[in-house]
Amino acid sequence: MCLGMGLAYLGAFHAPQPHDLRVDIVGSGPATQVLAQTLQDKAVGALDVRTVPDRATAATALARQDSYGAYIPGDHPELLVASASSDTSAMAVEKVFTQVAADRDAPLKVTDLAPTAAGDPTGQGVFFLLVAVSIGAYASVAVIGAAGAALPMRLRALLAAGTSLVVSLIGTLFAGPVFHLVDHGLAGVWALSWLYAAGILLIGVGLHTYLRRWTTLGVMVLFVMLNFTSSGGIYRPELQPGFFGSLHAFWNGAGLVEGIRSHVYFDGHALGGNVLVLTLWFLAGALLVTLAGRTESRRATTSVPARGPLSSGPRKTDAGRADGADPKTEKEREEEMEETVAV
């Protein structure tokens, strides 16, 4: 676990560097073209510099999260950013164009077209909401798996759905009334959080049938090591190594973070794609639970011992255990319960 966490977190976060970070230069004259080409050449793959004809076009690109900064040259240069998309990306863009303006002996004015809520000045509150909901969901998997192992899979699935409702409501309270991470759209934040938490719980409950005491490690790999690091909550893919940037396109944590950003700050642009990602993870969980239920039914059918007509029931041993009981199964249940307490 230590090795996995170290590789994941340090691999994703230890040295953020921009690559193909889209920025716009506003204008259409030769000077604009020269500036854009000069920046492109100096950046050596770090930036994707384009020109747009006017401020309105640049603002639209920022609102659609197609661009992360727009520089308006002149005697009083201005930089347009949308920090709600990613504060770290906005800072990276600001660093570049502060130097550009300084080379022309002009102070740079920075205008934030999509600022975050007052309770989330760094824009990373959504990431920590992701952490809270994720931990609540995957820790509950261990409890349901160990304490509810004797229950039918259908009941465990219902417990998972109910638990996801509670976890998502707690997360929504944190996001709104408690810490004011968002100042509107709480119903949407709750819906996205529930879909996300339900997906984790269903996948975890389904995996428990196959992984047993290794389930907690499995869900930590899926929903912590690979999930937090690819969510875009701290650094967007344009500032991360390619592996984590590629996961961002379809991992469920990215679906939650980008979905909340889209819903709260960008008028729902690209929200449908993020909802689709979360829905597919939810459906994968539902399918896994269904397969796990059938697997358990087959195991129960094949493990029932045949008894003769004179059998009067299981005989107790001196340890109080029925002869038909599997000591390995009992040991696994004890280990799972210990793991639940540890979680």
In a domain, 27, yes or no: yes
Q: Are residues 24 and 61 in the same domain?
A: yes
In a domain, 140, yes or no: yes
Exposed/middle/buried for 45, CB within 10 Å: 0-12, 13-18, 19+? exposed
Is residue 71 within a helix (H) or strand (E), and if so which, with residue range? strand 70-72
How many angstroms separate the CA atoms of 263 and 250, rounded?
Answer: 18
Q: Are residues 139 and 273 in the same domain?
A: yes
Q: Show which of 84, 112, 140 is a domain's final residue.
A: 112
How confident is the model at residue 326, as a pLDDT?
53
Per DSSP, helices labelled H in the chain are 2-13, 30-43, 55-63, 87-103, 125-147, 153-173, 186-211, 215-220, 227-230, 242-247, 252-265, 271-303, 327-342
In a domain, 49, yes or no: yes
Q: Are residues 179 and 208 in the same domain?
A: yes
Q: Show which of 112, 141, 170 is a domain's final residue.
A: 112
- Find the radius of gyration of the CA atoms of the chain: 26
Q: Are residues 81 and 212 in the same domain?
A: no
Q: How many structural domains comprise the chain? A: 2
Q: Are residues 243 and 210 in the same domain?
A: yes
Question: What are the tokens at 312?
Answer: 């009067």
Q: Show which of 78, 112, 146 is a domain's final residue.
A: 112
How confident is the model at residue 262, as a pLDDT?
97
Q: Are 24 and 58 in contact (CB under 8 A)?
A: yes
DSSP-derived 3-state class of residue 96: helix
Q: Are residues 81 and 132 in the same domain?
A: no
Q: Are residues 66 and 205 in the same domain?
A: no
Which band of pLDDT confidence, cut at 50, 70 and 90, is reported for residue 287?
very high
In a domain, 259, yes or no: yes
Closest CA to 115 of 230, 253, 266, 218: 266
Half-sphere exposure of 208 (CA within 13 A, CB side): 33
In a domain, 313, yes or no: no
How many angstroms separate the CA atoms of 265 and 250, rounded?
Answer: 21
Tokens 């090591």 sit on residue:
225
Q: Are residues 134 and 108 in the same domain?
A: no
Q: Are residues 61 and 197 in the same domain?
A: no
How confident is the model at residue 27, as a pLDDT?
94
The CATH number that applies at residue 71 is 3.40.50
In a domain, 242, yes or no: yes
Domain residue limits at 52: 17-112
Q: Are residues 107 and 135 in the same domain?
A: no
In a domain, 120, yes or no: no
* Overall average pLDDT of the 179-188 stretch: 95
How far from 177 is each of 37, 167, 184, CA to CA, in Å? 48, 16, 11
Which band of pLDDT confidence, cut at 50, 70 and 90, is reported for residue 109?
very high
Q: Considering only the C-alpha atoms of the chain, give the largest distance between any 2 of them, rounded to a whole number of Å.
A: 101
Above 70 in pLDDT, residue 318? Answer: no
Q: What is the pLDDT of residues 209-236, one digit of tens each?
A: 999 889 989 999 999 999 999 999 999 9
How confident is the model at residue 2, as a pLDDT?
87
Q: What is the pLDDT of residues 231-284, one digit of tens each?
A: 999 999 999 999 999 999 999 999 999 999 999 999 999 999 999 999 999 999
Above 60 in pLDDT, residue 317? Answer: no
* Overall average pLDDT of the 327-341 stretch: 56
Q: Are residues 147 and 197 in the same domain?
A: yes
Q: Are residues 135 and 277 in the same domain?
A: yes
Mean pLDDT, the chain, rounded, equals 89
Q: What is the pLDDT of residues 144-164, one digit of tens each?
A: 987 777 889 999 999 999 999
In a domain, 309, yes or no: no
Q: What DSSP state is assigned to residue 322?
A: B
